[in-house]
């Protein structure tokens, strides 16, 4: 009985190329067409695990955790300083779905920095902001601005404690004029005191008290 041999079906070459291109596990540096490159772990052809992404044109680098192609977990983001030609850290903290989320520290221009909670890339929750002029805000944030209860301490140690809305003093609050030895307690609206009472507070220790004390009512 004659044996008939049928030709073996050949697989298209692109199938093999596609399998080789599908990245999983730890890989060496993979370059994109635009010059960006990534070194780290992959899963199903997506950045997943630990890795470092460099954006050459933007002059930025991210080093940390990835989840299905997005920054997710703990990582740091840095930008290239055109003067020193070295990378300067901008943010270090937690990420979720490619945005800052959870606790983290952001470094702004000069000496300004924020330490606290984030949500969807915005300062939200509890946090402390150090400003260029030496003042410090510590308290609640909402959508990238002070919102809720918080304290603003000025560079001369005067401070405000109370409510905030849209980044401005709003609601019941106290302003301690420690340089004058006075305390204003009242209601604020959009940074403006609407009503309240002004009394002496620590007048004896104040460096520049008014000539006469406030008379008692």
Q: Check pLDDT > 60 for residue 81.
A: yes
How high is the pLDDT of residue 112? 96
135, pLDDT greater than 90? yes
Domain segments of the chain as ranges: 108-205
Mean pLDDT of the chain: 90
Q: Which CATH architecture has domain 108-205?
A: Single Sheet (2.20)
Q: What is the pLDDT of residue 188?
A: 97
- Mean pLDDT over 148-177 rounds to 97
Helix (H) or strand (E) holding 15: helix 13-21
Sorting pLDDT into bands at 50, 70 and 90, what band is 215?
confident
Provide DSSP, 114-162: EEEEEETTEEEEEEEEE-TTS-EEEEEEETTEEEEEEEEE-TTS-EEEE
pLDDT at residue number 6: 54
> What does the longest C-alpha to C-alpha distance in the chain come to?
125
Please, which pLDDT band fits residue 11 given cuts at 50, 70 and 90? low
Of 83 and 192, more confident: 192
Three-state secondary-structure class, residue 57: coil
Q: List residues bridging with 163 in a β-sheet.
A: 149
User: Is the model's pLDDT at 101 over the cut of 90?
Assistant: yes
- For 20-70, the pLDDT digits (tens) are 556 666 767 888 999 999 999 999 889 999 999 999 999 999 999 999 999
pLDDT at residue number 24:
66
Residue with tokens 């405000």: 160
């Amino acid at each position: 009985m004659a044996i008939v041999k049928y030709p073996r079906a050949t697989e298209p070459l692109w199938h093999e190329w596609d399998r080789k291109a599908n990245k999983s596990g730890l890989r060496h540096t993979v370059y994109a067409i635009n010059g960006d490159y990534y070194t780290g772990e992959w899963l199903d052809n997506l950045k997943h695990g630990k890795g470092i992404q460099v954006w050459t044109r933007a002059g930025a680098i991210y080093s940390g955790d990835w989840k299905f192609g997005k920054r997710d977990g703990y990582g740091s983001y840095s930008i290239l300083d055109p003067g020193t030609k070295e990378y300067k850290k901008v943010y270090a903290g937690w990420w979720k779905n490619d945005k800052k989320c959870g606790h983290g520290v952001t470094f702004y221009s000069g000496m300004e920095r924020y330490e606290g909670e984030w949500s969807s890339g915005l300062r939200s929750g509890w946090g402390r902001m150090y400003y260029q002029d030496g003042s410090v805000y510590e308290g609640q944030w909402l959508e990238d601005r002070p919102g809720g209860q918080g304290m603003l301490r000025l560079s001369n140690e005067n401070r405000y404690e109370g409510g905030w809305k849209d980044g401005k003093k709003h609601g019941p609050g106290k302003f301690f004029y420690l340089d004058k030895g006075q305390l204003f307690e009242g209601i604020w609206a959009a940074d403006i005191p609407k009503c309240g009472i002004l009394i002496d507070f620590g007048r004896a220790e104040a460096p520049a008290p008014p000539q006469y004390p406030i008379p008692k009512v």
